[in-house]
């Protein structure tokens, strides 16, 4: 990126993706001669494997996704079928390839300032938030980092440098976390970033980095990333948070796993802290007496941990 020298404010035209189908946010090319096939039983094997590894349920409608995302890996290893690839990745000596498989099948759509109403709501809610401790936000399924950096831009506008604050992004995918830490994105990813944020927090690439932009260092320094499987029995070594973003995550899990996740989020949330879920999600079907006793609804998909509950 040729140092941190700012170029000029970014103004980007829309990017159109033609002739592609999008599944879980990634382009899947139309079928072509020689595409690998997958039987119902083979799909069930991958379905069970992903559920055990991440808690994510792949419905039968995602068979084409499995074929499309894993075909290159099958050929990369000189294999001739997804059945043989399944045997390969479940061998104890191929843990690295197993992680690649998990990355490919659990990566979901993300972009800067997705569901912008949430960021507008936070600008109304957070100015009056208690200031006796550093403000800590958690993007719990951050993918390639756009949500975490969107949150950081919002917090920088609200708190500036006069208050200690930070953002943690976690994800199961090591590949996505590498992108997040590098903080370099294609120029068309600026489409949803407010123009005043572009001029303040984004650096336009030149020469070898033309066609990209990078999040500025003063913002990157506030955002850290680490690998984490939300479906693990316990969430290790994390602080308590004032804000947790669990947006567009619950839709990929079955109801028991969703309930477990919400209980984990409540445990990690400070009393008075906020939990945000996606606009296509709700907690009404998940509510248990424990959840109801600890969370109150502030707005659709925005919840607050009640002050009377115990926690960090």
Residue 173 · residue 102 · CB < 8 Å: yes
CA-CA distance, 283 to 297, in Å (whole number)?
A: 10
Provide CATH 3.40.50.150 ranges for the chain: 116-182+223-305
Bridge partners of residue 56, in order along the sequence: 253
68-119 pLDDT per residue, tens: 889 999 999 999 899 999 999 998 788 889 888 888 887 667 899 999 999 9
283-301 pLDDT per residue, tens: 887 878 889 899 999 999 9
16, pLDDT greater than 50: no
What value does the mean pLDDT take over residues 128-150? Answer: 95
CA-CA distance, 58 to 32, in Å (whole number)?
A: 23
Residue 20 · residue 233 · CB < 8 Å: no
20, pLDDT greater than 50: no
23, pLDDT greater than 60: no
Provide CATH 1.10.155.10 ranges for the chain: 26-106
User: Model's pTM, two decimal places?
Assistant: 0.78
CA-CA distance, 296 to 210, in Å (whole number)?
A: 47
CA-CA distance, 148 to 197, in Å (whole number)?
A: 14
Can you give the pLDDT at residue 187? Answer: 95
243, pLDDT greater than 50: yes
Burial class from Cβ neighbours inside 10 Å (0-12, 13-18, 19+) for residue 262 reads buried
Compute the mean pLDDT over every residue in the chain, rounded to the nearest whole number: 86
SS3 content of the chain, % helix, strand, coil (to 5): 45, 20, 40
Can you give the pLDDT at residue 34? Answer: 53
> Architecture of 116-182+223-305 per CATH?
3-Layer(aba) Sandwich (3.40)
Q: How many residues in the chain?
A: 312
48-69 pLDDT per residue, tens: 998 888 888 888 888 988 998 8
Annotated active-site positions, please? 69, 171
What value does the mean pLDDT take over residues 223-231? Answer: 94
Confidence tier at 4 by pLDDT (50, 70, 90)? low
* Fold of the 26-106 domain: Chemotaxis Receptor Methyltransferase Cher; domain 1 (1.10.155)
Residue 20 · residue 14 · CB < 8 Å: no
CA-CA distance, 140 to 147, in Å (whole number)?
A: 10
């Amino acid at each position: 990126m040729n140092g941190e020298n700012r170029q000029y404010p970014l103004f980007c035209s829309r990017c159109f993706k033609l002739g592609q189908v999008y599944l879980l946010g990634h382009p899947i090319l139309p079928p072509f001669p020689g595409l690998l096939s997958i039987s119902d039983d083979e799909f069930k094997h991958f379905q069970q494997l992903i559920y055990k590894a991440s808690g994510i349920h792949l419905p039968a409608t995602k068979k084409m996704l499995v074929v499309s995302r894993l075909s290159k890996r099958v050929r990369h290893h000189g294999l001739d079928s997804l059945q043989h690839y399944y045997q390969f990745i479940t061998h104890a000596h191929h843990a690295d390839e197993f992680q690649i498989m998990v990355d490919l099948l659990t990566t979901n759509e993300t972009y800067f300032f997705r569901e912008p109403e949430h960021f507008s709501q936070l600008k109304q809610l957070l100015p009056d938030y208690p200031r006796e401790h550093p403000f800590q936000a958690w993007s719990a399924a951050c993918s390639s980092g756009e949500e975490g950096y969107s949150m950081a831009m919002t917090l920088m506008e609200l708190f500036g440098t006069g208050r200690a604050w930070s953002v943690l992004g976690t994800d199961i995918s090591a590949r996505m976390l590498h992108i997040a830490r590098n903080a370099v994105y294609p120029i068309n990813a600026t489409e949803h970033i407010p123009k005043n944020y572009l001029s303040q927090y984004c650096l336009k690439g030149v020469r070898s980095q033309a066609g990209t932009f990078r999040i500025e260092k003063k913002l990157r320094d506030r955002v850290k990333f680490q690998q984490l499987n939300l479906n693990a029995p316990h969430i290790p070594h994390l602080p308590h948070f004032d804000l947790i973003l669990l947006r567009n995550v619950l839709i990929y899990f079955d109801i028991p796993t969703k309930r477990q996740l919400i209980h984990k989020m409540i445990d990690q949330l400070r009393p008075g802290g906020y939990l945000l879920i996606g606009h296509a999600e709700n907690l009404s079907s998940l509510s248990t007496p424990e959840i109801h006793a600890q969370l109150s609804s502030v707005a659709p998909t925005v919840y607050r941990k009640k002050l009377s509950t115990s926690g960090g």
